[in-house]
Amino acid sequence: MPGSSLWLVPPPTHPLHAIITDLITRTLPSAFPDLTGPTFAPHMTLTSGIDPGVYGDDPQGWLDAVPWPRAAGVDVALDRVATQDVFFRRCYLQVAFEDGVRDLAGLARAVGVNGEGYEIGPVTREWLEEWREAFGPHVSLIYGSNPIDDQKLGDISKTVEEAGVSLSSSSEHGSGDASGGRGGWKGGVVWLMPTDKPIDEWKPIATRTLD
């Protein structure tokens, strides 16, 4: 993946941090070994394609200077399990396109890629609509090369819910509580990740907890 990315990671103390980590690294690879590839930290990608020259030799200073929104205004609500025929989106949790998530991703794109400073300008607004139509905010579960058919997708969805994730698309298990429940989380930690490296070398070079 070219350049660097900005991720939003669940708060370390939120139950979904441990649940999704376990799904990515243990449960899904064990249950679906033919589908799962390399593992990674639980996250929602805010934007990718950031030229390292944008943050230069002070990635932490650059990340800290961004006026990130308050944690209370960022609700990451998990909707359903989905798949696309793309390695990095082979299987993921779709996230609701709420204002807080939209604004956070828009700010990340504006400052990291589009050169619009700390404002969500016209270029970023157009990108947000294109992003939403293409795949939108999501939390990846599986990176892989093998297609996932409807039956396997249903099996994965069942496994995810049995692990303790509440999906809003499920009338039986759905939960709108993103603050402390298992249908999502509030706030989180922004990671600056050099995703131009091999996946097994992915480590954040700067982090910022939303207040």
In order of start, what are the domains of the chain with their CATH numbers? 4-209 (3.90.1140.10)
Say what the pTM is. 0.94
Contact 97, 132 (CB under 8 A): yes
Overall average pLDDT of the 74-99 stretch:
97
For the record, the structure tokens of 142 come out as 């599986």
Split at pLDDT 50, 70, 90, the class of 1 is confident
Task: Check pLDDT > 70 for residue 180.
Answer: no
Contact 81, 87 (CB under 8 A): no
Overall average pLDDT of the 163-181 stretch:
66
Which of 174, 6, 175, 176 shows the shortest CA–CA distance to 105? 6
The predicted structure's pLDDT at residue 174: 42
Average pLDDT, the chain: 94
Residue 14 a catalytic site member: no
Rounded to whole angstroms, the Cα distance separating 192 from 200 reads: 16
What one-character DSSP code corresponds to residue 24? I
Positions of E strands within the chain: 4-9, 44-50, 75-82, 91-95, 138-142, 184-186, 189-193, 206-209
For the record, the structure tokens of 79 come out as 């909707």
CA 168, distance to chain mean position in Å, is 17
Q: How does pLDDT run across 30-63, given as a tens digit for each residue?
A: 999 999 999 999 999 999 999 999 999 999 999 9
Number of H helices, E strands in the chain: 6, 8
Any idea what the Cα angle at residue 158 is, between residues 156 and 160, rounded to 5°?
70
Overall average pLDDT of the 103-131 stretch:
97
Which one from 14, 17, 43, 173 is the annotated catalytic residue? 43
Residue 138 a catalytic site member: yes
